[in-house]
Amino acid sequence: MAATELLTLKAYLARSNTAEKHYELVSGNLIEMPPESPQNAEIAIKLLLIFA
């Protein structure tokens, strides 16, 4: 994919199901996100248990 090629939400959602890395769609541009840290995963699980 060219660096200047913008994605639609539909194209992003179709691509994100097959991507190994995690990305965010910002103004049509893909931004690669770092992997989740163990601390962040622990916080997410605690919040899930509180709000589920």
pLDDT given at position 16: 61
pLDDT above 70 as % of the chain: 85
Number of domains in the chain: 1
Distance of alpha carbon 14 from alpha carbon 8, whole angstroms: 10
Domain that residue 27 falls in:
9-51
pTM of the predicted model, to two decimals?
0.47
Distance of alpha carbon 11 from alpha carbon 31, whole angstroms: 14
Comparing C-alpha atoms, which of 38, 36, 51, 1 is closest to residue 14? Answer: 1
Please tell me whether residue 10 adopts helix, strand or coil conformation: helix
Mean pLDDT of all residues in 24-31: 84
* Residue 31 confidence (pLDDT) above 80: yes
Whether 2 maps to a domain, the answer reads no
* Residue 28 confidence (pLDDT) above 60: yes
Whether 3 maps to a domain, the answer reads no
Whether 4 maps to a domain, the answer reads no
